[in-house]
Amino acid sequence: MSPQIVPSHDTTALRIDIDRLLQRLADLAAIGAIEGTEGCARLALTDEDKAGRDLVVAAMRDLDLEVTIDGIGNVVGVMAGQTNGPPVMCGSHIDTVRTGGRYDGNLGVLAGLEVIEVVKAAGITPYRPLAVAFFTDEEGARYSPDMLGSLVYVGGMPLEQALGIVGIDDTVVGEELERIGYAGSSPLPGAAPHSFVELHVEQGPVLEAEGITIGAVDGVQGISWQEVTVTGQSNHAGTTPMRLRKDPGFVAAACANFVRTLATELGEPQVGTVGRIELHPNLVNVVPASATFTVDIRNTDELVLQEAEKRFAEFLTETAETEGCTIEVKELARFEPVIFDERVIEMVSSTATALGHSVKRMPSGAGHDAQMLARVCPTAMVFTPSRDGISHNPTEYTSPADLEAGANVMLHVMLALASEDAGLALASEDGTL
């Protein structure tokens, strides 16, 4: 007996419960809470990350989702559909940076739980399964590269290589995964979903500045992360004439200045950041022996990004040589710009309009798990505005009205993806086409 086409519920009136979503966000933000702020700190694979994972997994189980954990610690919860095919998946990350806000990543995962709760409460069994996922170490702040879990999920990095990555604190991914109990067994690469939708705060100033509620994200800019170690000669700060110094601290500072100058010269959307600088021995009266710093440069245009990398490398080599220092450069992450699926982008845009929200197509300045899922299935993102464009900062904020709008857009895009072609597919199974 072929599956009957379940009369498709009229889901147009379905809406998420914003109070329940705000409560979920508050409950998760309480884990690793940054005193006196709304933000939280849950670096990947720390005890705080474990506690956050446990909370979300418990919520998945409360929703009777089928929960799987893979070898890099990605977690997927699946709600059964009328068919057993690949699910329509949403998700993001719940690890944060040290100065994390409560929405970055967390919103996409918790809104996914909310979407599933609303669909279940309405008694709907979608044609396709729905899934919500959180991916390991999206931030890449403790273990580079960023989007590590989703990169492994789509087969972009072998699991063994990922498990061997050493962090900024000299811990190892595989050992930390075991320690927190999230070294799972579900197969990698993960099963390709039917489609993937990620709801995320914009983390930039565009939507707020233009008074727009929803971003229909059409892609992610290219990302280049490097770690540079400059080695000179430690010496006495008082007795060493300037002409005799081999000062890696000076080289690092000159490079930080150059990264800013380069980004300004190349013009928007070029950005450049020196986010981490460590001097050794890091003492007031010692010309440093070494300096280790990171360079994060990004652009939507791959060729301009390559030009920026080339110019930085030339400046670094010349400056170090002149200062009598040696250099070692390690690539931490390198992802080309990604373009999302036109059909899904258009669904985000038309759904936002149908729900009465203003919407703008735009690229993402930040990296996201969606840029990895785009390698294996039709993918797009939904942005909501960030107050003052601030993120990676505990004062990160998006209004309840905007959160609600974004989650409702994701709800209806997922329902549309979960039922598209259902009639055709089901009918063709019993030859009635």
Residues whose CB falls within 8 Å of the CB of residue 72, separated by 6 or more in sequence, listed in order: 136, 148, 149, 152, 153, 159, 162, 163, 173, 177, 188
Closest to Mn ion by CB, 258 vs 383, is 383
Q: Which residues bind ligand HGY (CB under 6 A)?
A: 138-140, 146, 366-367
Residue 176 interacting partner from Mn ion, ligand HGY, none (CB closer than 5 to 8 Å by kind) = none
Q: How far is the CB of 49 from Mn ion (least distance, A)?
A: 14
Q: How far is the CB of 300 from ligand HGY (least distance, A)?
A: 13
One-letter amino acid at 402 equals D
- Which region, judged by CB under 5 A, interacts with Mn ion, from 59-67, 99-107, 181-189, 298-306? 99-107
Number of residues in contact with Mn ion, rule: CB under 5 A? 2
Q: Which residue has 């809406």 as its token pair?
A: 15
Structure tokens at 365: 């300045």
Our finding on whether 101 is near Mn ion (CB under 5 A) is: no
Asked if 145 interacts with Mn ion (CB under 5 A), we say: no
The DSSP secondary-structure symbol of 40 reads: B
In terms of CB distance, is 107 or 295 closer to Mn ion?
Answer: 107
Q: Is 52 in the site for Mn ion (CB under 5 A)?
A: no
Which residue matches tokens 């279940």?
A: 120
**Closest CB to ligand HGY among residues 142, 194:** 142
**Quick check: 140 binds Mn ion (CB under 5 A)?**
no
- Tokens standing for 416? 């549309």
Q: Which residues partner with 225 through β-bridges?
A: 296, 333
Q: Is 105 in the site for Mn ion (CB under 5 A)?
A: yes
State how far the Cα of 116 lies from the Cα of 379, in Å rounded to an integer: 19
140 binds, among ligand HGY, Mn ion, none (CB under 5 to 8 A by kind): ligand HGY
Select the binding partner of residue 367 from Mn ion, ligand HGY, none (C-beta < 5 to 8 A, by kind). Answer: ligand HGY
Q: Find the shortest distance in angstroms from Cβ 244 to Mn ion.
A: 44
Instruction: Pick the closer one to ligand HGY by CB: 81 or 367.
Output: 367
CB atoms within 10 A of CB 281: 9
**Is residue 287 within 8 Å of residue 234, measured between CB atoms?**
yes
CA distances (Å), 308 to each of 73, 117, 190, 267, 296, in order? 34, 46, 34, 11, 11
Residues that bind Mn ion (CB under 5 A): 104-105
